[in-house]
Structure 1
Amino acid sequence: MTRIFVSGLEQEIGTPVNVVNRTGGNGVVGHSAISMARPDGYTLGVASSEFSYFRALGMSDISPDNFDILSRLATIPAGVTVRAGSPWRTVQDMLDAIKAGRKGQFTASGSGIGGSWHIALAGLLRAGGMSADTVRWVPSQGGAPAMQDVVAGGISLATCSPIEGKGLIDAGQARGMAVMGRSRLDILADLPTLTEQGIDWTFENWFALVAPRGLPEELHRRILEASARAQARPEVRSMLAQRGIVAMWETPEEADRFARDYATTAAELLRALGLAKA
């Protein structure tokens, strides 16, 4: 997603942009590097939603306070996917079975413990009238390995993005039952939303364009304008849509407010899961 956006940004500013992956610490390393860089416009970052609740997990003091948040760039909705042979035909079938079973009888995966897809599951269970930890979470290195475990029968369901399971769904090895976004995905148009199924819960992972806190006003304006044009380029939006990524652009005020509201919701669910440290 970052590289697609950068391909448009390079066209707008007329200079190469180097994309650097900073892995480690479940995102803490990369976000720390952004927050501690000089606010001179030469270092920008694409922050993942986790930076808004590092404090709640006790992983780092990093929060939205450390960044100038320019806009969210994209959202990727969570989903509900099961193996093709599952007896569950709808999400309500699944919720009824979980409610009738014992705590921890069913398992789910899609990310590490406390990751976005874990929070997505916690909210879904709460919306279904259960405690957030009714289903046992099995940590994974991401949606793709989690989907392999679903197909193999090792876990009951995955709440990662259905895009991560599209190949297995298309091959008839997995069954997508819902997308947790506000609307259906163009490339999985037959997959209904939870709200269409009468379940009041939406969850979308998100990514924001950020800079170290304290960009000079004129520099902030120039970067913001160029970035908005880059994100609006037809080829950028098309490439994102082809991958099931929902492109977006908003004002810095809207983005900052959303990040803080999201942090509150995430912290509440993490407390319900017994994972919050603060």
Structure 2
Amino acid sequence: MYFFVRRTIGHRPLPAIMFADLFAASKPPYFEGPSMRPILLPLAILVSLPLGPALGPALGQSGVVLDNKAQYENCMRLADETPEEAYKSGIAWFERGGGSAAEHCVATALMNLGNYREAAARLAALAETPDVKQRPTTRGLILSQAAQAWSELGEAGKAAAARDEAVALAPDDPELRLERAIARIAAGQHFEAIDDLNRAAETAPRRVDVLLIRASAYRYLGQLELARDDVDRALAIRPDFQDAILERGVIYRAEGDKDAARRDFLWVLDVAPEGPAGDAARMNLEEMDVRVE
């Protein structure tokens, strides 16, 4: 059995995480794994972790040699760029013996087309296949992607159950902990989110996204000293990281140090005038000018 992992993190104000994890069996036509379209985080990282030999071609049910790894990557690229084409390509590939890799590409294309209900159903079914169930972390990642689809549908209970099951399958996976923490923050469950972030920080102590999200949660709870400590730790790892400096400015503002806050917000506006960080810095500056603080 071969195993290949690719994790991707994207960027937006309230972060959420997505990643990719694909594996192939040495016997055709099995080729499974989740791939999640990047969602916005205060960070952009690409981490590749090969866990086995390079994936080679497999013989499809039609007798045609299929290079599963290349086909999967091409299908997932289409799922991001032109999901309509990815859907058609994935269906055709599945009919040629593409197996779970093709099914996962179809589900991801449906996610990106906004057909969340069918995507969730396909992902939930994929998570129950025998080969996926033999790999707890992979199954957790698929369930986590299904949770994203349920969230888009407003099915908070189903999304929470899928995330809980995903974390139970791989409790030390920082991505799964981080995603559940973000969902918990959105639901106002800040203490529970911090529990997940503490575990993620233990397993991935140099993850600045974990530190910054935990800093935001601490700040929301009024624990400004703990929030500042996490920001300082993040800046020790990435000194010019604009999102960390933005968060530091927000903490300064909460502490009543308007001069320090303004200095950080202006720095962010100078280096990143466009985008979420710049928008947030601009908003804070405008509010500081309007309000008496």
TM-score (norm 2): 0.23
TM-score (norm 1): 0.24
Structure having the larger proportion of residues in strand: 1
Structure having the larger proportion of residues in helix: 2
Higher relative CO (CA 8 A, sep ≥ 6), structure 1 or 2? 1
